[in-house]
Amino acid sequence: MSQRLSGIPLSPGIAIGPAWWLETPVATTGHSDIPRNPETERARLEAAREQAKRELAAILADQQHALPPESLAILEAQQLMLDDPDLLQHVTAAIHAGQSASDAWRSATDAIAAQLSALPDPYFQARAADVRDIQQRVLRCLGGVAEEAVYPTTPHVLLADDLVPSQTVTLPLDRILGIALVGGGPTSHATILARARGLPAVAGLGRALHMIAPETLVILDGDRGEIIVNPDEATLVEARAQQAAWHAAQKAAAATAAEPGQLADGTRIEIAANIGSAADARAAVQAGAEGVGLLRTEFLYLDRVTPPSTEEQFAIYQEIFTLLEGRPVVVRTFDIGGDKPAPYLSLPPEANPFLGVRAIRLARQQPALLDTQLDALLRTGYPTLRIMFPMVATIAEIHWLRERVDAAIARLTSQGLTPPPGLQIGMMVEIPAAALLAEHFAAVVDFFSIGTNDLAQYTLAADRTNPAVAALADALHPAVLRLIQHVVSAAHPAGRWVGVCGELAGDPVAAPILVGLGIDELSMAPAAIPAVKAVLRQWTRDAAEHLAQEALRQESAEAVRQLVQAMMPHR
Ligand code: PEP
Ligand code: MG
C-alpha cells in the first residue's frame, strides 16, 4: 500500500528509485582504554593526530575536483581542528590528569560537539556532526575499530539518520538519486552536499523512515519535502513527468548561469551570493555570482578563546576578495552574541537571545571588537567594498556606527593608507521598526539589504530555530512583503539601492515578486543562482510588478505561493 511521509524540503527535484538504508558507521565512541603513563599517551595521541592529518590530506588531494567546495571547506576545517591549540591543551591536561589518549580526546571533542549542538542556530548544530566525525577518525587512528559503510552498486534513493563528512567522501554520488533523512536540517552537511550536487533531498522525516524496507520503490519530492513509499501507477506516471520537466529546466539553467541576471525585457537585476568562507567565494564565482551580497563574518569569531586580531582578519578578507576578482562585496560586521556566543565575550545567558545583545548591540557594549574589524576591512583597500551592519533598530545606532567608520577611516589615513575608493556603508533590515522608518535611515546609509530570515521571525513572532513554529515564519507572508515594499519606496527616491539577502532571495517562487517590488539585488546560496537567473528571464518588469501588487493584497503566504503558480508566464 502506498504511504506518504512529510519532512522539510532541503534541496529541490524529484528522485524515483529503490530505497537503500545507509547505516551510520558505529565507530569508537564507546571505546575506552587503560591509561598508561602520560608521556606514552601523549605520544600515541601525536601519532594518531599525524595519521588523521595524513588521511585528510590524502582525501583532499584525491577529491579536489570531485567534491563541491563546501565539502572541501568542511574537511579543511577538520584539518585545522586537529591543530587547534585550545583543544590540544585540554586533551593534554586530561592526559596528565590520568586519562588515556582515547578518553581525553573523546571527552574534549564531545564537549565541543555538545556546545555546538546546544546553540539555537541550526548552522552550528550541524557543525557538531563535523566535530564528531573528526573525533571518530582520531579514535580509529588510536586503535579503535570503525565499521565500513556499505554502498549500493546500482542507483538508489539513500535513506539515513544523517550524513557525516567522512561518509560524503566515500559516497558513490553517481549511484545516489536523492537523500532522505530521519533528522538533519537546512544547514547540515547532507544538505550542503545535496544542494551543491543538485540532488533532491528531504530532512526531518522522523523515525518512520526506518520502516521502509530495502529496495522498496520510493518517490522523493525535494520541493514538497515528502517521500511516497510504494506509489500507485498514476502517482508514478505523474512523478516521472515532473522529474523530466525538472531535469530539462536544470540543464537549461546551468547552460546560461554565467550570463548576467536580467528580466525578459532586458532589465538588469544583480544576482549575488551569500558566502562565509574562501571556499564559498570560489563556489560563488563558479555558479555565476556577479558579486557577494552577504559575507557572513561570524566564522572568524566562534570556536576560539580570543577575538581575531586585525592582522588575522585582514589576511582572510584579502584571500576572499582576491578570489572575487573585483566583483562588489558586501561584508556584514559580526552578528555574534545572543544565540551565537563566544566564550571570551563573557556575556551572561539570556532568556531570549534573539531579542538580546547580539550584533551591533554587542558592538556598542564592546566597541574595540568592531573597531578591529573595521580596521581590517578598510586596510584591504578593496575598491568595491561595502560594509553592512546587522540588527539595526534605531537611528541613534546607525549614527553611532557611521561615527565608528569615520574614526576608522581617520586611523587608516593617519598611517598614509587610503580607504577603498568605492566604499559604501549600508544596513540590514531585519527588524520591523527599521523597515517602517526606512525613510529616516535612507538619509544616513548608502544601501539596504533585507534579511528576510530575521524580518519574518520578528514580524510573525516565530522563532526561526524552533521547528514547531518555523513554518509560521514564511517570509512570503504578505505582512513581510509589505515591509519590503515600504523599504523600497523609501530608499529609491533617496537614491539608495535595496537588496535581499535572506533565504527568500534564492527561492525561485519569491524572486519575481521581489523584483516586482523593486528590489535591485538578490543575494543567495551559490547553488541557487542558476535557477533564479533562469526564472527571472521569464518575467518582464511589468508582469513582475503586477504579480507583486497582487501578492501584497493576499491574506497568507500560501495564497502568495498559489498566486505565483497561477500567474507564471508560459513561454
Ligand atoms: C537574515 O536574517 O535574513 C540574514 C540574511 O541573516 P542571518 O540569516 O545570518 O541572520
Ligand atoms: Mg539575520
Q: 345-382: per-residue pLDDT in tens?
A: 888 888 898 999 999 999 999 999 999 999 999 999 99
Band of residue 170 on the pLDDT scale cut at 50, 70, 90 = low
452 Cβ closer than 6 Å to some ligand 1 atom: yes
Identify the residue whose C-alpha is closest to ligand 1 atom 1. 451
Ligand nearest to the CA of 500: 1
Instruction: For residues 292 and 321, give the distance between their C-alpha atoms in angstroms, rounded to a whole number.
Output: 10
Q: Whose CA is nearest to atom 9 of ligand 1?
A: 296
pLDDT for res 470 = 67
What SS3 state is found at 518? coil
CB 144 within 8 A of CB 167: no
501 lines ligand 1 (CB under 6 A): yes
247 is catalytic: no
The residue that leads in pLDDT, 546 or 571, is 546
Q: Which ligand is nearest to the CA of 392?
A: 2
Residue 253 has pLDDT above 90, yes or no: no
Q: 120 CA to middle of ligand 2, Å?
A: 13
Residue bearing the CA closest to ligand 1, atom 8? 453
Question: Which residue's CA is minimally distant from atom 3 of ligand 1?
Answer: 451
C-alpha 540/C-alpha 543 separation (Å) is: 5
- The hierarchical CATH code for the domain 3-24+149-232 is 3.50.30.10
Distance CA 146, CA 139 (A): 9
Query: Does residue 451 have a pLDDT over 90?
Result: yes
* pLDDT surpassing 50 at residue 263: yes
Distance CA 312, CA 485 (A): 40
121 lines ligand 1 (CB under 6 A): no
pLDDT of residue 166: 65
What pLDDT does 505 receive?
94
Per-residue pLDDT, 30: 40
pLDDT at 380: 97
Averaged confidence pLDDT in the chain: 88
**Measured from the CB, is residue 451 less than 6 Å from ligand 1?**
yes
Q: How high is the pLDDT of residue 103?
A: 87
Catalytic annotation present for 141: no
Most confident of 55-59, 241-245, 299-303: 241-245
- Minimum-distance ligand 1 atom for the alpha carbon of 503: 3
pLDDT over 80 (residue 167): no
Q: Is the pLDDT of residue 569 over 90?
A: no
Each residue's pLDDT tens digit, 179-233 = 998 876 655 566 667 776 778 998 888 888 888 988 999 999 998 889 999 999 9
Residue 123 reports pLDDT greater than 80: no
Give residue 321's pLDDT.
98
Q: At 398, is the pLDDT very low, low, confident or very high (cuts 50, 70, 90)? A: very high
| pLDDT tens-digit map of 452-488 | 999 999 999 988 776 677 678 889 999 999 999 999 9
Give 453 Cα–ligand 1 centroid separation in angstroms. Answer: 5
User: Which ranges of 37-121 does DSSP label H, i.e. alpha helix?
Assistant: 38-63, 69-81, 85-96, 101-118
How sure is the predictor about 27, in pLDDT bands with cuts at 50, 70 and 90? very low
Span 526-543, average pLDDT: 93
Domain 249-264+430-571: which topology? TIM Barrel (3.20.20)
Q: What is the pLDDT of residue 303?
A: 72
H/E segment holding residue 129: helix 122-141
Task: Tell me the mean pLDDT in the region 231-242.
Answer: 96
Partnered with residue 221 across adjacent β-strands are: 14, 226
Per-residue model confidence (pLDDT) at position 1: 76
In the chain, list all ranges with CATH 1.10.274.10: 38-143
Q: Which of 111-115, 277-281, 442-446 has the highest mean pLDDT?
A: 442-446
CA quadruple 498, 500, 505, 509: dihedral positive or negative? negative
Highest mean pLDDT among 68-77, 145-154, 182-191, 215-224: 215-224
Share of the chain above pLDDT 90, in %: 53
Nearest one of 25, 24, 19 to 3, comparing CA atoms = 19
pLDDT at 124 over 90: no
pLDDT classification of 60: cutoffs 50, 70, 90:
confident
Pocket test for ligand 1, best of 430, 480, 500, 507 (most atoms within 8 A of CB): 430
Task: Enter the C-alpha cell of residue 396.
Answer: 541613534
What class is the 270-427 domain? alpha beta
Instruction: Collect residues with CB below 5 Å from ion ligand 2.
Output: 430, 451, 454
Closest-approaching ligand to the CA atom of 186: 1
504 Cα nearest atom in ligand 1: 3
Is the pLDDT confidence value at 242 over 90?
yes
Distance between Cα 450 and ligand 1 center (Å): 9
Which ligand 1 atom is the nearest neighbour of the CA of 274? 5
Closest ligand 1 atom, residue 452 Cα: 3
> Could you write out the three-class secondary structure of 313-325?
HHHHHHHHHHHHC
Catalytic residue among 31, 156, 189, 477: 189
Q: Residue 360: count other Cβ atoms within 10 Å of its Cβ.
A: 25
What number of other Cβ atoms are within 10 A of residue 213's Cβ? 10
Q: Which of 119, 187, 275, 296 to mutate to test the pocket of ligand 1 (most atoms within 8 A of CB)?
A: 296
| Alpha-carbon span 489 to 442, nearest angstrom | 10
In which band, very low, low, confident or very high, does the pLDDT at 234 lie, cut at 50, 70 and 90?
very high
Does the CB atom of residue 429 touch ligand 1 within 6 A? no
| Ligand 1 atom 10, closest CA | 454
Taking the centre of ligand 1 as the mean of its atom positions, its distance from the CA of residue 507, in whole angstroms, is: 15
Amino acid 29: pLDDT = 40
Nearest CA to ligand 1 atom 4: 451
In the chain, CATH 3.20.20.60 covers 249-264+430-571, 270-427
Region of poorest pLDDT, from 118-132, 330-344, 354-368, 540-554:
118-132
- In the reported structure, the alpha carbon of residue 457 is separated from the centroid of ligand 2 by a whole-number distance in angstroms of 9
What is the structure's pLDDT at 144? 60
pLDDT, residue 467, reads: 63
Q: Give the residue carrying C-alpha cell 516565530.
A: 462
For residue 165, what pLDDT is reported? 63
List CB contacts of 493: < 8 A, sequence separation 6 or more. Answer: none
Model pLDDT, residue 406: 98
- The CATH number of 38-143 is 1.10.274.10
Q: Which of 280, 330, 355, 453 to mutate to test the pocket of ligand 1 (most atoms within 8 A of CB)?
A: 453
Q: By the 8 A CB rule, do 196 and 283 touch?
A: yes
Ligand 1 site-directed mutation target among 119, 463, 501, 519, most atoms within 8 Å of CB: 501
Q: Which residues pair with 127 in a beta bridge?
A: none
Q: Which of 90, 141, 156, 501 is flagged as catalytic? A: 501
> Higher-confidence residue: 526 or 31?
526
Question: Closest residue (by CA) to atom 6 of ligand 1?
Answer: 451
What integer pLDDT is reported at residue 192 of this predicted model?
A: 65
> Is residue 430 lining ligand 1, measured as CB closer than 6 Å?
yes
* Distance from the alpha carbon of residue 502 to the mean position of ligand 1, in angstroms: 5
Query: Where do you find CATH 3.50.30.10 in the chain?
Result: 3-24+149-232
